[in-house]
Amino acid sequence: MSTRLRPVSRIGSEVSISGAAVRVVVTAVTFIATLAAVGLVLAQFSTPDVLTNLPNQLPTLCGVAAVILVLYYLFGTSPAAYGLSLGRRWLGDFAGGAVIGVLFQAVSTAAILATGSGRIVGSWSMGVFNDPVTVGLAIGATAAAFVIVGLWEDFLFRGVLIRELVVGFTSRRVSRPAATGSAVVVSALVFGALHLNAGAAGLSASVAVTQAVVGGLYFGLAYVLTDSLALPVGIHFSTNLWTTVVFGQPESGYPAAFRLTRPFDLSADLIVVLLLPTAVLVTAVVLWVRATRGEISEASLQMVGEQ
């Protein structure tokens, strides 16, 4: 599919900071409106507990679909321009990202246990479920939900926001590397700000925001180095799955191999738990890009932001 289409409307289609701003605003309004509308409809139906949070992610999936259609028909931009283009390489990057996410969480879990900032308080817990069949269904539904979570969050915050920020910055004669780096930072800060409400996870707001900002930085790095959402979505998917069904929270109702307490407030231990695994993840991302692309160069950054 071509990434350059004939737009129905010229408003917001131009390669400029105003055009980029229009596309970001339209994306946000479309997503929120679809989320609210579909959510109201689905709220009228009850869903089995075994589906865990999969039904809650269906409105977000519809929201992404609505955004894709609006961007396509109003501004002539296909999902491929934002890094969503299914194919062998895309699926390969997704699988690679999933492996990198597992490595990241394994190092993170080891750091938590080594620093004593957390401990294992249970093992082989079925959560609120009571037989292997429902446990298997719950894990499958959880995995599907986390694919959707990674897809919609990375499409909006990495694909659309970073791309359009790069378009806006470069239209004002900012160099491509500087524009891309700035866009990744801004996207990470916005992503972090939206994680202020961390009550459901039991984390303090400072920890939730810090983790989200750090996550936004390495998701953004994986995006701009590959010009694709596949690697960040894969990392996002496996990191979420690990913290839910491999080393889940003690109070969680999800099935989990182990229950692990985690640091809930900013501390020296938390800095180690965040920075060491992040360094491992960034190294793994760079090695993946070199192995699959042959080199890391400005060219990979230049494609982000092209109309």
Q: What is the pLDDT, as a whole number, of residue 95?
A: 96
Q: Please enumerate in sequence order all residues whose Cβ is within 8 A of that of 60, keeping only pairs 6 or more positions apart, or say none.
A: 35, 148, 149, 152
pLDDT digits (tens, 9 = 90+) for 102-111: 999 999 999 8
Given pLDDT bands bounded at 50, 70 and 90, which one contains residue 10? very low
Q: Are 101 and 234 in contact (CB under 8 A)?
A: yes
Instruction: Please state the φ and ψ torsions of residue 47, each to the nearest 5 degrees.
Output: -125, 150
Q: What is the pLDDT, as a whole number, of residue 194?
A: 86
pLDDT digits (tens, 9 = 90+) for 60-94: 999 999 999 999 988 888 899 899 988 899 999 99
pLDDT digits (tens, 9 = 90+) for 73-82: 888 888 998 9
pTM attached to this predicted model: 0.89
pLDDT at 307 over 50: no
Given pLDDT bands bounded at 50, 70 and 90, which one contains residue 297? low
Instruction: List, as own/partner pairs, every contact residues 69-75 make where C-beta atoms lie below 8 angstroms and the sequence separation is at least 24, other chains included.
Output: 70/26, 70/27, 70/30, 71/23, 71/26, 71/27, 71/160, 72/5, 73/8, 74/7, 74/8, 74/9, 74/12, 74/13, 74/26, 75/7, 75/9, 75/12, 75/13, 75/23, 75/26
Separation CA 140–CA 59 (nearest Å): 19
Mean pLDDT of 8-33: 78
Separation CA 43–CA 63 (nearest Å): 16
pLDDT at 5 over 70: no
Give residue for tokens 């932001």: 305
Average model confidence (pLDDT) across the chain: 85
Separation CA 104–CA 262 (nearest Å): 16
* pLDDT higher at 173 or 286: 286
In the chain, what percentage of residues exceed pLDDT 70?
A: 87
Q: What is the pLDDT, as a whole number, of residue 300?
A: 56
Q: What is the pLDDT, as a whole number, of residue 266?
A: 64
Q: Are 238 and 105 in contact (CB under 8 A)?
A: yes
Hey, is 244 helix, strand or coil? Answer: helix
Q: What is the pLDDT, as a whole number, of residue 6?
A: 37
pLDDT digits (tens, 9 = 90+) for 273-286: 788 899 999 999 99
Given pLDDT bands bounded at 50, 70 and 90, which one contains residue 14? low
Q: Are 249 and 201 in contact (CB under 8 A)?
A: yes
Burial class (CB in 10 A: 0-12, 13-18, 19+), 28: middle
Given pLDDT bands bounded at 50, 70 and 90, which one contains residue 18? confident
pLDDT digits (tens, 9 = 90+) for 223-264: 999 989 999 999 999 999 999 999 988 888 889 999 988 776
DSSP secondary structure letter of residue 79: G
Given pLDDT bands bounded at 50, 70 and 90, which one contains residue 301? low
